[in-house]
Amino acid sequence: MKKKIHPQLFLARIRCACGNEYEIPATKKEIIVEACRNCSPVFTGKEETKVVMGQVEKFLKRQKGTKKK
């Protein structure tokens, strides 16, 4: 590696809002986060998925109510 061009690495302490703490190599000594791997819904499997209706289905639903007899 070339000298004087790379940032200095520290063993950073990551602190989450849930109280979880762990250490990783980083360029800062302390990092505070709102969600970590223990409390994030994506990692815990508690993520709520929403079914979004497509544009075609929305259009057909609107047209269904406006048909002339």
Which pair of tokens denotes residue 55?
């544009």
In a domain, 38, yes or no: yes
Determine the 3-state secondary structure of 25 from DSSP.
Answer: strand
In this structure, is residue 2 part of a structural domain? yes
Report the pLDDT value the prediction gives residue 59, as an integer from 0 to 100: 83
Domain extent, residue 40, equals 1-46
Q: In what order do the strands lie in the sheet with 10-16?
A: 21-26, 10-16, 30-33
Would the pTM count as exceeding 0.75? no
Which tens digit of pLDDT belongs to each residue from 1-58?
688 898 899 999 999 988 989 999 999 999 999 888 888 776 666 666 666 667 888 8
Q: Kindly state whether residue 31 falls inside one of the protein's structural domains.
A: yes
The tokens for 51 are: 């079914």
Helix (H) or strand (E) holding 10: strand 10-16
What pLDDT is attached to residue 43?
65
Structural domain count, the chain: 1
